[in-house]
Amino acid sequence: MLVVTAIADLQSVIKNARLTHQKIGFVPTMGALHQGHLSLIKQAKAQTSFVVASIFVNPTQFNEAEDFKLYPRTLDVDLKMLDESGCDLVFTPTVEDIYPSKDLRKFDFGLLEQVMEGLHRPGHFNGVAQVVSKLFDAVQADVAFFGQKDFQQFAIIKAMVKQLNIPIHLVACPIVREPSGLAMSSRNQRLSKLQKEQASAIYKHLTWAKTNFKQYSLSELKNEVEKCFFSSEGLELEYFEIVDENTLIELNSWPVDVKIVACVAVFCGKVRLIDNIVFNL
């Protein structure tokens, strides 16, 4: 496995891979890797012939300086995990490599960025679009792989690719969970053992909603799920929304021809966790 920091070195390696007609797969990460990330590498290896991963903690997508400071950084461990997973190339740029000058671009994603994460983390998705567009430009991959846990982020990236006319295929991969049901996240490293037990209630409540939603009106179901979260020790609910998968429009009643996704953001102590689940109509 090769590890490069400079964009020129990255592109030189990829150019050589293309000379042998290899299909380039790309998995962008912020490091602090877990089995969820490795499942993306596995999927990339299954669908492409040369797999690139990036490790870059992007400052422009953090709303709180403290959150950026506390984000886990475990580069040596990450590189070992990627090597063992069969990744071909890891791109580890510096902030100066990605942002040689301040990125002043402002994206407009309409409603997609005005609800849920966008509402509670203003500017977050603009930072995501800035860095992902720069990474796509640097790697020039054929296919990029993302986790379904960041459901709204994937919708934003799809919209960005369309806006910028980037020739890349996007693949969303299933959420990987811990045995308790807690969605794997780099932020889980900041949870104590007790907090991990408490946070496992997130998936339990989502699963209950998926299992029982046909017995309630949509507003009734939301009320019931919110009650579950409010009574869960150690958890503070930020939002629970039931939306159209494609538009992210909040639903007021059960549709018949729309894929429904329930999305949640919860604080466990000072750690903010997100999750989602798809309802089958």
| Nearest Cα residue to 206 out of 242, 234, 235 | 242
Residue 249's pLDDT is what? 94
Q: Is 37 a catalytic residue?
A: yes
CA-to-CA separations, 74 to 30, 77, 84, 90, 186, in angstroms, rounded: 10, 6, 16, 14, 10
Q: Identify the helix (H) or strand (E) that includes residue 53.
A: strand 50-55
| Residue 259, phi-psi category: left (phi > 0), alpha (psi -120 to 50), beta (remainder) | beta
pLDDT values of the chain reduced to their tens digit, one per residue, 281 residues: 999 999 999 999 999 999 999 999 999 999 999 999 999 999 999 999 999 999 999 999 998 888 898 898 999 999 999 999 999 999 999 999 999 999 999 999 999 999 999 999 999 999 999 999 999 999 999 999 999 999 999 999 999 999 999 999 999 999 999 999 999 999 999 999 999 999 999 999 999 999 999 999 999 999 999 999 999 999 999 999 999 999 999 999 998 888 999 999 999 999 999 999 999 86
Tell me the longest C-alpha to C-alpha distance in the chain.
Answer: 59
Identify the active-site residue in 37, 120, 169, 205.
37
CB atoms within 10 A of CB 11: 16
Q: Are 232 and 254 in contact (CB under 8 A)?
A: no
All domains of the chain in start order, with CATH: 2-173 (3.40.50.620), 186-276 (3.30.1300.10)
Residue 280's pLDDT is what? 81
Q: pTM here?
A: 0.95
Which residues, other chains included, contact 121 with Cβ-Cβ below 8 Å and sequence gap of 6+? 63
Residue 67's pLDDT is what? 87
Q: Are 268 and 195 in contact (CB under 8 A)?
A: yes
